[in-house]
Structure 1
Amino acid sequence: MTKGKDLPSYIHRRKRDGVLLFRKRVAGKIIEVRLETQFPEGTPVPFALHQERERLIAQPEPVAIGKDMASVLKQYKSLPKFGDLAPRTRSDYDKHLQYFADKLGTLSPKQIERYHVIAWRDAWAKQHSPHFANYRARVLSIVLEHAKDMGLLKKTDENPAKGLKALKYEKQERQEWPAEKVEGFRKAFGYGTRERTCFELCLGTGQRIGDVLKMQWSHIRGASIAVKQSKTGKRLEIPMTEHLRAALAAADRNKESLFILPKDMSKTKTPGPWAYRSAAQAMRKAREAVGAQAYDLHSLRYTAGVELLLAGCSDDQIGSITGQSLEMVRHYTKSVRQRARAEEAQRKRENVTWKRT
């Protein structure tokens, strides 16, 4: 093999057949790549050869097996702390972890720098939303912390995603369902429909949709329903409202399924709970039908807290239904509290008998 005076560095022409090869030492070994750009000996070097050479020189060195991001992700997913995440959180993480595996799997954690993360975050914000981008960046930070634990980043090295300033955006505060929207939904979807059963379970128990979909007939104990919250692990026994009792009495109880909200058995042979995605899509259509697009299923959890507050319940009593801390109870009901205080203030204002002089 000869280099040839006309060839740039790293480029050699094989003697036996004249094929041009790119050769470079990587980690103590010589790698050899057949070039796409080939030309006869003695002719001018084409510009394409210089372009291909620059590309090959700029390529990152291959990452050793077990030291790439794919290995970090695989190990992270095997950790007990990942398995202990709430099912919904774990499902959310999984989507981002798969993205990282597809896009970053061949990289070494050392190759990821802060400016990379910032550029990726900004691109994710444009493609999806600032909230989505901030969340994905947080998951990446968690993964890179595990890379430290694996010894792939020095303990003194800065996690390039850690402490990244979140993108600011105007948050849409959830509001409780207005009374007319609640009534409109009940008129549009009668007892016996899955939409109505789901609606009354969410509103009547004040629980997250994920926990509602797991509710089984065996959880009903007289006039109450037993709940174990997936996110907090709390066990609650919640007396049922009149609307919820009526909805359950009219529900079509599928003998093949243990769940109050089962899968559509006309589309599957495997019994189980109504899938989150299917339920969300069906309830989205139902909300659109009654003009309640601005109020999602989680807003029913807010609505439950507001109804209890307006009924004169204390924060502790509200928390006994929703399973929330007193701080979260106040957060979920802050809008109605503000309105109530404002109304009382204005009444006092109107009742003032003296006049300005």
Structure 2
Amino acid sequence: MTKRALPAYVYVRKGGLLYFERRGQKSQRIKSAPGTPAFALEYAKLLNGVITSEPTGRTFRALVKSYRASDRFRKLATRTRADYDKVLEWVVEKLGHLPADKMQRKDVIRARDANADTIRFANYIVQVIRILMEHAIDKGWREMNPAKGVSLLKSGRDAREAWPDELVQAYRAEASGRALLVFELCLGTGQRIGDVLAMRWDEIENGGIMVKQNKTGQRLWVPFTPELRAVLEQTPRVGMTICAWGKHGRPTSYRGAADMVMKVRKKIGAEGYDLHGLRYTTASELAALGCSDELIQAVTGHKSLAMVAKYAARERQKRRASEAQKLRE
């Protein structure tokens, strides 16, 4: 059917569906066939500003509520759930009243770009909406995921680097107490700082420690390095957690750990290398020793071998380049 055969404000859209579209009025689908009495009645109501939208209940607010009640969400690690919740609150606030089954790829991109001043959060919006759309597909609300394939924003910052050996040695020479303990725990176990600060004395067994990663929920046993073992032998047990401090054994906070480590980093000129970079350093050291991705993963507990390969790539490139150049001698 052509537009000429239709009355004013009525248009044919994708799939041959008819919509009433007039400036200042919400677009409405017309269900009746043109030329029928039902169509005339429906058109008259729309023309007079009577909204006949169909309440489907498939809003983002309803979708978020359903997702939070799902096994998919409940099985997430505590830290991941907390990160997702920040975005889910944003979705409810900004998109809650909108129909989740009508979202298009352009809408996801618009939401990402509107938050481009905080790149990490903007990228999280894309990732969480992608998950929400998968949940909507599972519920039968839609057939495709508009967030799938939407690219993430680049931060423009240099990629995180592993600590050079000279800075590792400089840190050890300069640091003492908890600043050295936190450093050796991060480097010796290859774990994230949050998991390091949660490590307890009663989790130590057979020359290593049992770790439950907060982000992945994975449990693994990591043996101590000689350097870490030496520091632990000199560390007083003042609380349940290894990094506890004070006569009451208070756990060390992330901010407290970051600040004490930063003081040493400034003294040795290592401001460009952070606590998470020590996780890279562990993988790099193991790669330099010829460890496979599987062996590195056994220590760091990375969920995917692809991430292990990324961490170890720089050191492996150096090793291969050295081998190649030796052939030229």
CA distance in 2, matches of 1:128, 1:93: 16
- Does residue 96 of structure 1 match 2:80? no
Matches within 5 A, 1:1-357: 67-110=58-101, 112-125=103-116, 127-129=117-119, 132-150=121-139, 153=141, 155-156=142-143, 158-167=144-153, 172-190=158-176, 192-193=177-178, 195-255=179-239, 258-262=240-244, 273-276=251-254, 278-280=256-258, 282-284=260-262, 286-311=264-289, 313=291, 315-324=293-302, 328-349=307-328, 351=329
For residue 282 of structure 1, report the CA deviation from its aligned partner. 4.9
Q: Distance in 2 between matches of 1:147 and 1:272?
A: 44
How has the CA–CA distance of structure 1 residues 64 and 273 changed in structure 2, closer, same or farther, with 3 Å as cutoff? farther
AA aligned to 2:65 is: K
Structure 1 counterpart of 2:124, which letter?
Y
- Contact 2:186-2:196 at 8 Å conserved across structures: yes
RMSD of aligned Cα (Å): 3.6
Contact 1:219 1:227 in 2 (8 A): yes
Pairs aligned (count)? 282
Instruction: Give the TM-score, by structure 1 length.
Output: 0.66
Q: Is the 8 A contact 2:115 2:121 kept in 1?
A: yes
Cα pair distance change 1:68/1:272, threshold 3 Å? farther
Say whether the 8 Å CA contact 2:77–2:217 is kept in structure 1: no
Q: Which runs of 5+ in 2 are unaligned?
A: 1-24, 29-48
Q: SS of the residue aligned with 1:182?
A: helix
Distance of 2:102 and 2:306 partners within structure 1: 42
> How far off its partner does 1:162 sit?
3.4
Greater CA deviation, 112-121 or 292-301? Answer: 112-121
Q: Post-superposition shift, 1:161? A: 2.9
Shift of 1:181: 1.4
Of stretches 224-233 and 87-96 in structure 1, the one that deviates more from structure 2 is: 224-233
Pair 1:314–1:147, CA change in 2 (3 A): closer
Specify every segment of 5 or more residues in structure 1 that has no aligned partner in the other structure, as ranges. Answer: 1-23, 28-56, 352-357
Shift in CA distance, 179/160, structure 1 to aligned 2, threshold 3 Å: same
Contact 1:63 1:106 in 2 (8 A): no
- 1:134-175 CA distance string (max 9 Å, x none): 331121122233344455x4x34x444333244456674332
Q: 1:73-92, CA deviations, whole angstroms, 9 ceiling, x for partnerless residues?
A: 22211212112112332222
CA contact (8 A) 2:58 2:101 kept: no
Q: Point out the structure with max Rg over C-alpha.
A: 1
- Checking the alignment, whether the CA contact within 8 Å between 1:63 and 1:107 is kept in structure 2 is no
Q: What's the CA shift for 1:202?
A: 0.9
Q: Match for 1:94: what amino acid?
A: D
2:238 aligned counterpart, secondary structure: coil
Paired AA for residue 297 in structure 1: L
Q: Distance in 1 between matches of 2:281 and 2:68?
A: 36
- Secondary structure of the residue aligned to 1:162 is coil
- Equivalent-residue separation in structure 2 for 1:140 and 1:234 (angstroms): 25
Is the partner of 1:345 in helix, strand or coil?
helix
- Higher RCO, 1 vs 2 (CA within 8 Å, ≥6 residues apart): 2
Larger mean CA deviation between 238-247 and 303-312 belongs to: 303-312
* Higher mean C-alpha displacement, 133-142 vs 313-322: 313-322
User: How high is the TM-score relative to the length of structure 2?
Assistant: 0.71
User: How far, CA to CA, are the matches of 1:309 and 1:164 in structure 2?
Assistant: 33
C-alpha change, 1:332 and 1:117, in structure 2 (3 Å) is closer
